[in-house]
A and B are shown apart, each in its own frame.
Chain A
Amino acid sequence: MDLGLPPTVPFLDWAWDDLLFLALAGVMLAAAIFVVIGRDIVRSGLAMMLAFAALAGIYAMAGAVVVAAAQVLIYIGAISILILFAIMLTQTKSGPADLVFHRQWWAGLLAAIGVALLMIISVINTQWPLRVAERLWSPTDEVAMLLFMDPLYVFALQVVAVLLTAAVIGGVFLAKREGLTDPGERETATFQQLRPTSNLERLPRPAGVDAAQADQA
């Protein structure tokens, strides 16, 4: 398909791919940042869907079209929706900043920046021994063949199946609302007692000095 575009982006002298990549990356990062700083959690959820979509585009650019498709199906179609439902179930819309962010958000920010710097520095400085210059494509059929023919992935698929089953069984149990009141006493009844009290048994002072007092402990 030839749209008659110039081989590179005008003025910037970038490949068009690069421009697309940058655009998608920009969208994704912006959306991701909105996810983590947005006050309205519903919007955060929606932004997350956007970020996932942009990511799907990047996957496609990186040649992993199957993954791109799966991203749309699974992440956007399933997980995000799930999360949105959960938000609906638990959320009282937006709130002031102190409800959104923990007081130590700045420390978190520092840590995140640190992680980012470390990761970026380390990956940039690495000569990946196996890398090739040219981007490769992962043809869907090959991926499919691999998935169903390679014993590793067959096995992995089985494990994932069990994993999902387990998650579903457990999730249903946990999320299921039971009308009956609890017949047994709940351990929450003892909340107060759980607060650490200080009648700890500490080594008393020398016995000769205040034996009697120490014994009262």
Chain B
Amino acid sequence: MSNLPLLTLVVFLPALGALLIAFLPRERHNWIRWAALGTSLVTWVVSLVLLVNFDPSQAGFQFVETAEWVPAFGIQYKLGVDGISIALVVLTTTLTAISILASFGPIKERVKEYMISFLMLEVGMVGVFLALDMFLFYIFWELVLIPMYLIIGIWGGANRIYATIKFVLYTLIGSLLMLVAILGMAYSYQVATGTWAGAFDYLTLRGFGFDPTLQFFAFAGFFLAFAIKVPMFPFHTWLPDAHVEAPTAGSVILAGVLLKLGGYGLLRFCVPLFPDAAVQWAPLIIVLSLIGIVYGAIVALVQPDLKKLVAYSSVSHMGFVTLGIFVFTEQGVQGAMMQMIAHGIITGALFLLVGVIYERTHDRTIAKMGGLAGVLPVYSAIFGFFVLASLGLPGLAGFVGEFLVIVGAFDFYPLVAAVAALAMMLGAAYLLWMYQRVVFGDLSDFLRGLGHHLTDMDRREVLTLAPLVAMAVAFGIFPGLLTELFQAPIEDLLAQIAPAVLAAGGR
């Protein structure tokens, strides 16, 4: 097994699939669909092989693959995986396969382009998680943008163009400034060492210790890119628009993986590369996270549109991720990681569920819904399940992350934890209120008007959600499955930034 370039495989298999699809006749929708699903499943299997062979006890990167790329700048093709990234990779491959399956029904036009876009999206996403070279990372980072731009822009809703351009521009501004930061960092390395070799190598840079001024600004550059992606208040406004307009599978990936790119970036790059700056910036970030947590939840309360509600809930939930990372405690970071995985599963599922109802009603207005429980029992049950998971019911995945973050934050400063914990109440409020309005009560006139079109979920739809249910339960009851993966890298990370925290007067 060890001879196979597993990481390269898992990154570029989807690209291979996309290439294959490019040669399939355009009107053969089913061939294309199955080819895409097959590709994503093979990728998924490869990612599982990776997971099985992964040794969680090591902190360092495994399966590292290195090849020279542009030696003049020390740019390499370098992939590697540690406990943090492998979980996200598997999440990505899983959600991609599910999303592709979920697109079988809704996507009826330009299936070929759609599937190619989706597979290329997977390439970018997996690549971001695996890249160990700053340059390579940046390439994958931008690669994610284009397919998503097309997916929202072509297969999206009525106001899709506005949403997709906003999404791209917003993300691009962040990432371009990140590019400046990457280059500044590399150059600073070059000046200090006199060589370009290793100037883009994550592993080399990580232990390098840049000078404080550079750290401060480079951190700002990276942070902006990631904060927009997460998204943190006040950079979040692209998210509701993008979610509302994106097709269902797009929303799933957007919420499930794309937002994680931001969290991952903060954890992988912002903190370890610039520990001093991270400590310096932490108070601001914590405050913004808290605002995001509370604000997202409060705004979610009054959303009239299901997708917008879930989108704002993402703002709230992802606030826990940034909060957890920047309190610099083991529990906080563990919680942030757990929260990312859980949010990926749960919010992904919620978007799938919204998609199911949208496909039947072509509407997502909460006010027009009501009484689904009687007509769509299976749907209502699964919906309820994920609503509960999302509000952090213990025993399901969403709880562990949130609670760990609260514990970590409490360790940092109790008041912070108190504000964050407000989300427990608010989350219950907006989710249950929404659930009550959609599922309980008498069947609304609008829904009654749909008559026999209002059918319960079919087998394919259940199949898309079943793995997510299983994961939500499994990670709720056995969070150790994940925390063990994260443990070593997180300890490593915290040990690395400990001097900076100490220097800043922390514990």
Contacts and interface: CB of A to CB of B under 8 A. Distances in A.
Contacts of A215: 158-159, 162
A161 interface: no
Interface string B239-259: 011001100000000000000
B229 interface: no
A91 to B, nearest CB: 52
Given A207-B241, A207-B244, A212 B158 contact: yes
A211 B159 contact: yes
Nearest to B308: A208
16 contacts: A201-B161, A203-B162, A203-B165, A203-B166, A204-B159, A207-B162, A207-B163, A207-B240, A207-B241, A208-B240, A208-B305, A208-B308, A211-B158, A211-B159, A214-B159, A215-B158
A215 B158 CA distance: 6
Interface string B278-307: 000000000000000000000000000100
A96 to B, nearest CB: 52
A207 B241 CA distance: 7
Interface in B134-171: 158-159, 161-163, 165-166
Contacts of B161: 201
A201 B164 CA distance: 13
Number of chain B interface residues as a range: 10 to 19
Interface in A128-186: none
Interface of A: 201, 203-204, 207-208, 211-212, 214-215
Nearest to A216: B158
Contacts of B245: 207
Please report whether the interface of chain B is mostly helix, strand, loop or mixed according to DSSP.
helix
Contacts of B165: 203
B156 to A, nearest CB: 11
Contacts of B163: 207
Contacts of B308: 208
A204 B163 CA distance: 10
A210 to B, nearest CB: 9
Interface in B153-192: 158-159, 161-163, 165-166
B149 to A, nearest CB: 15
A70 B166 CA distance: 64
Interface string B110-135: 00000000000000000000000000
Contacts of A201: 161
A27 B305 CA distance: 83
Nearest to A211: B159
A149 B161 CA distance: 68
Nearest to A201: B161
Contacts of A212: 158
A207 B308 CA distance: 11
B330 to A, nearest CB: 40
Given A203-B166, A207-B163, A212-B158, 18 more contacts: A201-B161, A203-B162, A203-B165, A204-B159, A204-B162, A207-B159, A207-B240, A207-B241, A207-B244, A208-B240, A208-B308, A211-B158, A211-B159, A214-B159, A214-B162, A215-B158, A215-B159, A215-B162
Contacts of A204: 159, 162
Contacts of B158: 211-212, 215
Contacts of B162: 203-204, 207, 214-215
A106 to B, nearest CB: 44
Interface in B221-245: 240-241, 244-245
A124 B165 CA distance: 58
Interface string B331-346: 0000000000000000
B107 to A, nearest CB: 20
Nearest to B242: A207
Nearest to A204: B162
B368 to A, nearest CB: 16
A204 B161 CA distance: 10
A203 B240 CA distance: 16
A201 B153 CA distance: 15
A206 to B, nearest CB: 8
Nearest to B244: A207
Nearest to B163: A207
A203 B163 CA distance: 10
A214 B158 CA distance: 9
A211 B166 CA distance: 14
